[in-house]
Structure 1
Amino acid sequence: MNYQQTLDYLYERLPMFTRVGASAFRKDLHNTIALCEQLGNPQRLFKTVHVAGTNGKGSTSHMLAAVFQQAGYKTGLYTSPHLKDFRERIRINGEMIDQEFVVEFVQQVQPSIEQLDPSFFELTVAMAFQYFALEQVDIAIIEVGLGGRLDSTNIITPELSVITNISYDHMNMLGNTLPEIASEKAGIIKPQVPVVVAQTQTEVEQVFIDKAKAMEAPITFADQHWLVQDNDLANGHLHIQLRPLHSEQVWDLKPDLNGQYQVKNIMGVLSAVKVLQQSGWELPDESVKTALSHVKKLTGLRGRWDIVAQHPLTIFDVGHNEAGIGEIVGQLEHMTYRHLHIVTGFVKDKEVSKVLKLFPAAATYYFTRAQIPRALDENELAEMGAAAGLRGKSYPNVQQAFQAAKQHAHEEDVILVCGSFFIVGEAM
């Protein structure tokens, strides 16, 4: 098989959560453990940082990878899902995994695929671990796919666990209350491994404290250790000043990941860096500041308040659940524009009616669907939008919706594309 044939085989042969939903989610680690044992347990051959959370874990993972890269470490990065190219999921120092390795790996494990019937995600986790081991990375940042406790990535013993925040998402698999969801995320906390929680949330704080105590894991709530001195979003570009408690040193940061919501993630990253510095990793403060200004360049991250064009200002954001859309809408309130155009679509298993109520009624909407089985029908979405007081039309694919928005937009307008990774990926 060549590279494209290999990808086709993976997509057709293996259940893929992002395409079909809950039926692809495996509620134990059996397949991942078995696959990795057959490969010689590559996950034990390099150091890791493990990142979980409902929103922000992708941004946080990329920022941490950028910090290690800038400090001179050979750094692996495993994230999901991808926007355009499967190889985005597995990178070393920002470079995507070789096509040849993907082909050879799948050929190598094909008997195991037929024997174990793993999910798409289980196989890609094993692929990432094997790649990082063979390439002898110094450290790899590993983003949880879904939840934590039963996620395929949870067979590692990291240097540090990081949890970004907890909000309602994937309730059909993770639980119907925030404490239940938090308990699943807290499943990545390992015995005596430090954990950083980026955001203190009253409803779930005790869940993390109790789990950390049971694991004898030192715990840090990042937002309890940093003061925001200044937080400015001029022309869509973030400028923040943070000061550690009990210190006069001010961190003056101009991150290239824009969006007010990144402030919480950055506090989590800075607290993670402090813990890692204390355990012997050489991460100079100047390298950290430089890294946070060049995350996109260093790691290839896209789709987080991603300004892709001016006049009209065009923004891509992969926010897709209640908390994520809430942050996006909050960001829009800081902006000045003539009119707002929103291209959006969702997957069926989100609480879409709740999310639509958050959107501004004054915008024009272009309701659409990604080309995956899990996508919510665009006409059904338009009806739900109308019920929430949103005006717009439906379009059968993302490109038609995006082109319509560009045709209708004045140069002083804003076009926002959001709702899922797949909507943004197809718009790109």
Structure 2
Amino acid sequence: MRERFQIGGAPVGDGELRELASELDPDIRRHSLTFFEAATALAFHLFRKKGVEVSVIEVGLGGRLDATNVVAPFLTAITNVDLDHCDYLGSTLNEIAMEKAGIIKSGVPLLTAEPDGRIRSVLSARCEALEAPFTSVESDAEKTSIDVQEDHTAFDVSTSMWGDLRLQTPLVGEHQAVNGALAVALLERMPPRFLPDR
């Protein structure tokens, strides 16, 4: 479970997690939270106690009704839409896209790496209705520049802030290059005070 809670790229210790969980236990029981709802509350409690200024929060299931959808983000992202969790999210890509579009907030930019134009249209229409800027991030990583190894994926990405970069992730697969390009695009749009030097 520790891999769900990281600060500065390092997992939080088991003892610290147990202590924080015991602080929340009465509320978790009183409200009969699901495992994911409790884990989300635990993450928010941890981030508050540690003074975390910026966090990456990933939905657990869909978006619209997800426990994470209580945050007030300055950016949102939908990597792509696939036929997953169909019992909960819907049986078609359009239905699932509408559920995922539930994370879109009024005036808050959405970035996506969704390759299907029909699904991008669903996301874009929701953004337009909420006056939320919409950006479709095409992977700047050429297929030939992606190097998938058994323990990592390396790829090239062009940025407006840092020029051309060769990046590497411990996650494996060509799709991780697209996810990485989306992450870089999100970084470029963060408020300046949170931006890394490189």
Category of TM-score, reference length = shorter chain = 0.7 to 0.9
CA spacing shift, 1:273–1:110, aligned 2, 3 Å: closer
Change (3 A) 1:270 1:111: closer
Supply the RMSD in Å over aligned alpha carbons: 2.5
Offset, 1:117: 1.3
- 1:344-355 mapped onto 2 (5 Å cutoff): none
- Give the CA deviation at 1:232: 4.1
SS at match of 1:251: strand
Instruction: Show the counterpart of 1:167.
Output: 82
1:211 positional shift: 0.9
Superposition map of 1:14-413 within 5 A = 86-223=1-138, 226=140, 228=142, 230-233=144-147, 236=150, 238-243=153-158, 249-276=163-190, 280-284=193-197, 287=198
TM-score, structure 2 normalization: 0.86
CA distance in 1, matches of 2:186, 2:148: 27
The structural deviation recorded for 1:210 is: 0.9
User: Partners in 2 of 1:229 and 1:110 — Cα distance?
Assistant: 48
What is the percent sequence identity of the aligned residues? 33
Distance in 2 (alpha carbons) for counterparts of 1:151 and 1:122: 8
Partners in 1 of 2:102 and 2:148 — Cα distance?
39
Unmatched runs of 5 consecutive residues or more in structure 2: none
CA positional deviation for 1:112: 2.6
SS of the residue aligned with 2:138? Answer: helix
- From the superposition, tell whether residues 228 and 217 of structure 1 become closer, same or farther in structure 2 (CA, over 3 Å): same
Post-superposition Cα deviations, 1:290-310, rounded to whole Å, max 9, x if no partner, equal xxxxxxxxxxxxxxxxxxxxx
CA–CA distance in structure 2, aligned partners of residues 181 and 234 of structure 1:
29
Residues 193 and 87 of structure 1: is their aligned pair in 2 closer, same or farther, counting only changes over 3 Å?
Answer: same
Q: Which amino acid aligns with 2:108?
A: V
The answer to which structure, 1 or 2, has the higher relative contact order (CA under 8 A, 6+ apart) is 1
Q: Deviations over 1:266-318 (max 9, x none)?
A: 221121122116x553223xx3xxxxxxxxxxxxxxxxxxxxxxxxxxxxxxx
Cα distance in structure 2, aligned partners of 1:124 and 1:196: 26
Q: Which consecutive unaligned segments of at least 5 residues does structure 1 have?
A: 1-85, 288-428
* TM-score (norm. length: structure 1): 0.42
Partner-residue secondary structure (3-state), 1:276: coil
Cα distance per residue 1:131-172 (max 9 Å; x no partner): 110110121111111100100011001121011010101111
